[in-house]
Structure 1
C-alpha cells in the first residue's frame, strides 16, 4: 500500500515456454478439472444445476455455477490454446491483460482517451464491431504486438480495436439437459453462450465470462502508440 492509501497490485510473475510468453489465461497441465457431481438444485428462481458438495461462495458467481479447475499457474506444461476459467473471469472483471495479467488501466489507457485495447483472431479479416460479443479479455499494447508475431492462430489473421466500454453480457460454458442432467452437444462455434438472466443460465456450467464491446474504433498495431 502506498502512502496515499492506494493499494499497489503485486506484479504477476511471467512464464515462458519454448521461447513463447505463456498467456496469463492459459491453463497448465497441473491445473486439472476437479472431480464433481452435477445434481439438480431448486431454490429462489427455480431449478438448475449444482454440485453435490457445492460451496456457493466459491462455486457460484452472480448465482451462476462455474467449472471447477485447479489453480497451479506455472506448474507443468502450458496449454497455449486453452483458457483457465478463473483467470479468464479475473481478466474480464478487472480488465487485466490476457497475456501478462497486468492491469490495462495503464498509461496507454489514459493516452487513448480511457479506452482498452482488444485483439482477436480474424482469419477472414472480419473486424470486431460495435456491440460485438466476445470471451477474449483485453490486452496491453506490448503483449498485443508480441502476440501477432508469436501466436500461430493470430498469424492467420487478426483484428485490433480500442474500446470505450466492455459491458457484461453473460457466460459461455456447457449446457445441461433439464431432464437427464447430461451435457448437451456443443455447437460448432464452441461453448454455449447464455445472456444474463436467461432461463438457460441456471442450466449452464460457466467456463467464460462474456462481454459486449461498445465505443469500438479499429486500430493498426503498427502505428498506434
Structure 2
C-alpha cells in the first residue's frame, strides 16, 4: 500500500487523515425504500449505484474524496476515510498502517486514544468510532488537540471487532429522519439491530477487546529505548 500524502498546518502539525477538507462537501441525494442486497427492506438512493453506495448491504453517505483541496475541518470526520482507517487499522492522523514495528513490539496490539470521560480508562467492550493511532501521532495529538489536552486515556488493544455504524436513522413508514440522541451528532446502531436497514451510515463502529491501559509517555520512552 502506497503511504498517503501528508498535509501539515502552518504550525507544522499534521492535518489528520480522517479530517474532511472544504472541497469535500456531501453530495445531494434522495432517499427511497428499497430491497437491500441482503434481501431485507430498507432505505436506498433513488439513483443508487450498489457497488459504490453500500458496504455490507448498508447504505453510506456520499462524500467526494478530494483530500488536500481547500481548507481542513479539524473538528469533523470524513466518513469514507474514517471507514477506511477503521477497516484497515490505519492511523487516524497520518493514514499509515498501524501494523508496524510497534504493533509487533506490543504483542500484536494496536494503540487507541480517547478523551477521558470522568477519568475512566478504555475498557473491554467499549464501542468507538475513533480509529487507531501510531505512537508518534498519538503523542502529537495529545499535545495539539484541545479536547485531549483536557484529559485523555490510552490503551493497547488486541482486537477491534465490527459492531455497527453511526448515522442518520429514517422512519420505516414515513422516511422522515429520526433525531439522534440529545448528546450525539449521529445515532449508533448495532449490526444486529433491525434499525440498521433504515440507517444512512456515516461512520464505522468497532468494539474494543483485550484492552490494557497505558501511559503514552511511558510507551514513548520504551519505544525510544528499543
- Shared fold (TM-score, shorter chain, > 0.5): yes
The match for 1:22 among 12, 15, 18 is: 15
Q: Equivalent residues in 2 for 1:1-225 (5 A)?
A: 9-19=1-11, 20-42=13-35, 45-187=39-181, 188-224=183-219, 225=223
Q: Is the 8 A contact 1:117 1:141 kept in 2?
A: yes
Unaligned stretches of 5+ in structure 2?
Answer: none
- Alignment: residue pair count: 217
For structure 1, the residue ranges without an aligned partner over 5 or more in a row are 1-8
Q: What's the RMSD between the two structures over aligned residues? A: 1.1
Report how far residue 46 of structure 1 moved: 3.0
Q: Give the drift of 1:189.
A: 2.6
C-alpha distance in structure 1 between counterparts of 2:151 and 2:86, whole Å = 23
Distance 1:199 1:123 in 2: 30
Aligned-residue offset at 1:110? 0.3
- Pairwise CA distance, 1:17: 2.0
User: Partners of 1:63 and 1:194 in 2: how far apart?
Assistant: 14
The CA distance in 1 between the partners of 2:126 and 2:29, in whole Å, is 33
CA distance in structure 1 between the aligned counterparts of 2:135 and 2:193, rounded to whole angstroms: 35
Residue 89 of structure 1 and its aligned partner are, at CA, apart by: 0.4
Q: CA deviation at 1:92?
A: 0.5
Residues 99-136 of structure 1: CA deviation (Å, up to 9, x unaligned):
00000000000000000000111152221101111010
SS of match in other structure, 1:153 = helix
Report the alpha carbon displacement of residue 42 of structure 1 after superposing the two structures with TM.
Answer: 2.9
Residues of 2 paired with 1:51 and 1:223: CA distance? 49
Under a length normalisation based on structure 2, what TM-score does the superposition of the two structures give?
Answer: 0.93
Superposed CA offset, 1:158-215 (max 9, x none):
1100000111111110111112212111112331111113210110000010000011
**In the aligned structure 2, how far is the partner of 1:17 from the partner of 1:184?**
37
Local SS of the residue matching 1:16: coil
